[in-house]
Every structure is written in C-alpha cells, then in structure tokens.
Structure 1
Amino acid sequence: MNMNKKVLIIEDETQIASILKDYFQQSGFEVHTLDSGAKAVESIKKLVPDAVILDLMLPDTDGLEICRQVRKFSNVPMLMATAKVEEVDRLIGLELGADDYICKPYSPREVVARVKAVLRRLAPEATEDVLTAGPIVIQPSKYQVTVNGNDLSLTRSEFELLYIMAKQPGRVFSRTDLIANVHGYEFEGYERTIDSHVKNLRKKIAAVLNNKDVIQTVYGVGYKFEAA
C-alpha cells in the first residue's frame, strides 16, 4: 500500500531522523530527510511528498514559518513535532495549517501509524458521489471544494471536517466524534485541535459567503453544519 509514497522528515536531531527513517522504510515508504529548515520549502516543491514530519524547533528556520510558507502552495499533510508543551505553540501550528502535532519524546510506530491513517483518508472510494450542500460542492475523489463556484483551498483536516459534517446536516457532532473521524485513530484528548481546524474552516467559507457561518457551535456539545 505504501510503496512509492514519499515522506519528508525535517528534523535536526540526526538520531531521531534516522530512527524515523528506518521505521518508515520498513513500512514501504520512500523517505527523504533534511537536518535544517533552510531548504525545506524548496524541497517540498521539488519532491512533492505525500506527508511531511516537521520539527517545530529547527536551528535556522522556524517550523511555524515553514508551515506558513508551504500552505501558500500545497495542502500536503504536515505533522508538526515539538518538544514544547505550551498549548499556544500547538494551536499556532494548527492555525497555520498543520494537520496534527506530535509531542517529543514520541513513539516512531505511532508516527508511522498517524501518517498511514492520513494517507488512507486521502484515498476516498471511487463510488462516492459529489456532495452538494447549498452553495457548497464537495468532490471527495478529488479532495476539492467549491463555494459559489469558487475553489476553496483546504488542508486535509479541514476538508475531512467539512465533508463529515456536510454529509449529515443538522447533526451535532461532539469534538470526540470529530477527532476520531478526522484523525482516524485514538487521539489523546486534545480537543482544542478540532476547535482550531473549525476556526480556520469557518474563516475560509465566510470569506466567500459574505460572512455567513455554516458551521454552528452547540455550546457544551460540539458543532453542526447547516447549509447556507
């Protein structure tokens, strides 16, 4: 399944990068590594990886800045690795477009499992139909969303959130429900991850729909989608 799938590991700690590389190669991935952030954006453009593991604390270039620049031209799934424990650092990364974060020290097996989960969800079944919800049109097979005919640039997590909720308009999804559906694995309770993705998604849709909010907050429960 993972043959020819490319993973780019941007990590300045060579031992960590080497261990991760071994685990990914054992799972059939083509692996590329960088030990600094100076050429990260250029490398992503050139390699077009299927997933990126990005260290937040690089010696020469801030991982958040790399994430910001990459999101200008690519929706490649990015998992941000960080030794920082402050909530704000994680939230900033998510708001800039990172799909997930991994706290050091982490299990290499878990990192590989998370990437596999991302790639499984990036291959929707060919039988899935185009979903239309008011002015929003979602094409799962292409991971494409248009709003009033305008293409909407979404990260993988934002797309999954929108698609999951739009399939069942009016249903209230708890944060736990959305975490399980979007990430595809048992996520250790960091519900603010979903809040950040929803915030970004709302902002992007509202910019096209004259500030109309199609994702409603149900206080104390979660979120629901209502077509505009």
Structure 2
Amino acid sequence: MTNILIVDDDINIVKLVDIHLSEHGYNVFQAKDGMEALEILEKAACDLAIVDVMMPFMDGYTLTKMIRKQYDIPVILLTAKSEIEDKELGFQAGTDDYLVKPFEPKELTFRMKALLRRFDHQPDEAILQIGNTTINKKSYEVQVGKRTLLLPLKEFELLSYLISNPKLVFSREHLIEQIWGLDYEGDARTVDVHIKRLRERFSNLTDDFQIKTVRGVGYLLEVHRK
C-alpha cells in the first residue's frame, strides 16, 4: 500500500485529505507540524509528502528542504497564497508541485499519481515475454513467433502496460491517464478504439493473451499459460 504523509496544522484540511485518500486506497499518516512529520518519516517509509506552508515551529519551506536532504520522495506544498514569489520559494526549497488552497481533493489525487509515477524506482523491464510473444520497449517491436510487428506508439504503450499488469482490471479513465496523460482532452472512447485495433491485430496471430472487457468497469489482459 502507498503511504502518504499529510502535514498541516489545520485539522479540517487533514481530515478532508485523509478521508479522500483513504477512500482511494492510500495509507495516510498525519502530522500537525514539521517536527512531528520528521518523527514519522524516521519510523515509516512514506512515498509522498503533502506539506502546508504556514505551520508553527517549522514552516513548510524548511520542512521541504529537510525532506529533500534526507528522503527521496516527492513533495506537494499546500498554501493559501498564489503569488509567484511564494511559488518561487517553494520550488527553491525543493517541492515537486504546488497546490493553492482551497483545492479540490480530486485535483490533489491527480497530482499525487503523476508524481508517484515519476518517482517509481521499480526496475522497468525492457523485454516483456508471454509465451511466444515478446515486447521490446527499447525498439518498440512486438514479435510473435517469427513475425515482427511495429505498432503505432499509443497501441504499443497500451499493450505494454496491460501485459505488464496481467489480470488487473483498469478503467478507461485510468488507461487514459497512464498512456495519454493528464492533459489529454479527448474522449475516453479512444481507449475502446485502440483496444479494438489490438484485438484485430493479435486475435489471429496468437492465443498467448486476450484483452477482455469487464462490463461497467474497463479492461484486463488475461494470460493463457500453455
């Protein structure tokens, strides 16, 4: 489970973020000031910190600097100020993102997910293998037996993502976020189109895998072991 540290002396903000993130499957640690936050970081392996700027004992800029020196995790600063000078201080302190109060919890979640992807230190295997199907992430080639295919980029990225996460169900919105990015303004049906093309390409080539529709949810890739 992903551990998130929220540091804010405003109990209402802490409760709001805690409830929202817990509903999305995150494990939340709470701290009311910088000193308490550092104590938590010494004991718990946190994956991301959400830090308020204006706090007693130690402000968010100072805490961010200390986190940056000791821990390799992303930081999102929360502030009631939107002036460019305040943002500059935040980024100079080492923050990775900046969110102005009041904010939508959903936007906080989007920003968190983007940062967690960037800070994901798990090794990214260049070669994916399922039966006689091989995906080469460096050359962007898919080989089925002796046949080599060069797919359009988004089809390749979508197939690679699904094969990297077999048996997991993903919503169209999640796949849009992962493959097309948060700034994509197109329709979620784009996923349906690309899934259809992948099925058409591989249905007669291999039975190593099958992309299945989970009604009302999204898609999953099922591996057929031989």
Normalised to the residue count of structure 2, the TM-score between the two structures is 0.53
Tell me the distance in 1 between the aligned counterparts of 2:118 and 2:51.
Answer: 20
Matched, 1:127 2:122: no
Aligned to 2:83: 86
Q: Residue in 2 aligned with 1:21?
A: 18
Q: In structure 2, how many angstroms separate the alpha carbons of the residues matched to 1:66 and 1:83? A: 17
Alpha-carbon distance in 2 for matches of 1:121, 1:38 = 27
Which residue of the partner structure matches residue 71 of structure 1?
68
Distance in 1, matches of 2:123 and 2:69, equals: 28
The answer to whether structure 1 residue 56 and structure 2 residue 49 are counterparts is no
Structure 1 residues 121 and 69, CA, compared in 2 at 3 Å: closer, same or farther? closer
Q: Which amino acid aligns with 1:52?
A: A
CA distance in 1, matches of 2:8, 2:45: 18
User: Which residue identity lines up with residue 2 of structure 2 in the other structure?
Assistant: K
> Counterpart of 2:96?
99
Aligned-pair Cα RMSD in Å: 2.4
Query: Identity of counterpart residues, as a percentage?
Result: 32
Could you say what secondary structure the match of 2:34 adopts? coil
| 1: CA distance, partners of 2:123 / 2:35 | 38
Structure showing greater Rg: 2
Distance (whole Å) between structure 2 residues aligned to residue 72 and residue 121 of structure 1:
18
1:39: which partner in 2? 36
TM-score by length of 1: 0.53
Q: Any unmatched runs of 5+ in structure 2?
A: 128-180, 184-226
For the residues of structure 2 that align with 1:89 and 1:98, how far apart are their CA atoms?
A: 12
Cα distance in 2, alignment partners of residues 36 and 23 from structure 1 = 21
84-93 vs 39-48, which moves further: 39-48
**TM-fit CA distance, 1:128:** 4.1
